[in-house]
Amino acid sequence: MKHCRVLLISGSPDINYEFLKFVKNNIIDFKKDTIYAIDKGLEICDELKLSVSKIIGDFDSVEPSILKKYPEEKIIRYNCDKDKSDTELAVDIALEANFQEIIILNSSGARLDHFLFNVLILFKKPEVIKILSSDGVLWALQSGSESIIELKPNTIFSLIPISKCIDVSLSGSKYELKKIHLDISTLTLSNMAKGLIKVKFKSGLLLFYAKESNLLNC
């Protein structure tokens, strides 16, 4: 069975409550969407009165008194000595549940290494897992197939190569590409959309960033 969308509220201590309130009021569909709280992210859900389906983590940072307010059957506990971050474990659980879209929130603040690893998690399922913040949305593109992305005209976007990408083509933008080999560089930083963006590449690891927060599928 396919589920539409899950929002993962991560536990970064650098919390933008104004943006998260915007997400609550304008993006979350409470009739269809599922919410997972990740460790300290439960404090955000509690503050914003978001109903959570699962609470995931080793719980080394969440306030114990808040955790105690929630039923044990919603809690998935892990040992602190584990091989994956709490966020990656939550993503794995969401992937096993076959969600069509997985949105990670509150994951870009505090430690830079944590954020970079969260970015790498996007490659577990290109086009499905996304990081959403007040600065925009970020996800991994799928090699070997054409990605079609509808952006408002003049929206700033970037293609971000994490490895050498082969035969990259891009159309629908101010600066277009036709079957180029894209090395790790800033060549594709800060392009501008004309409307419908089309991206295709043969192989490699390529991220898509758009400075727009309302680019979700479900």
User: What is the model's pLDDT at position 213?
Assistant: 59
For residues 13 and 193, the model is more confident at 193
The superfamily (CATH) of domain 147-210 is: Thiamin pyrophosphokinase, thiamin-binding domain (2.60.120.320)
What pTM was computed for the model? 0.93
Nearest to 207 by CA among 131, 95, 104, 152: 131
How sure is the predictor about 129, in pLDDT bands with cuts at 50, 70 and 90? very high
Q: Which two tokens stand for residue 44?
A: 């955000």
The arithmetic mean of pLDDT across residues 58-71, rounded, is 92
CATH annotation of 3-134: 3.40.50.10240
The arithmetic mean of pLDDT across residues 128-157, rounded, is 95
Q: Kindly list the domain boundaries of the chain, sorted by start residue.
A: 3-134, 147-210
Helix (H, G, I), strand (E, B) or coil at 168: strand
Q: Are 42 and 70 in contact (CB under 8 A)?
A: yes
Q: How many CB atoms are closer than 10 A to CB 78?
A: 16
User: What is the model's pLDDT at position 153?
Assistant: 93
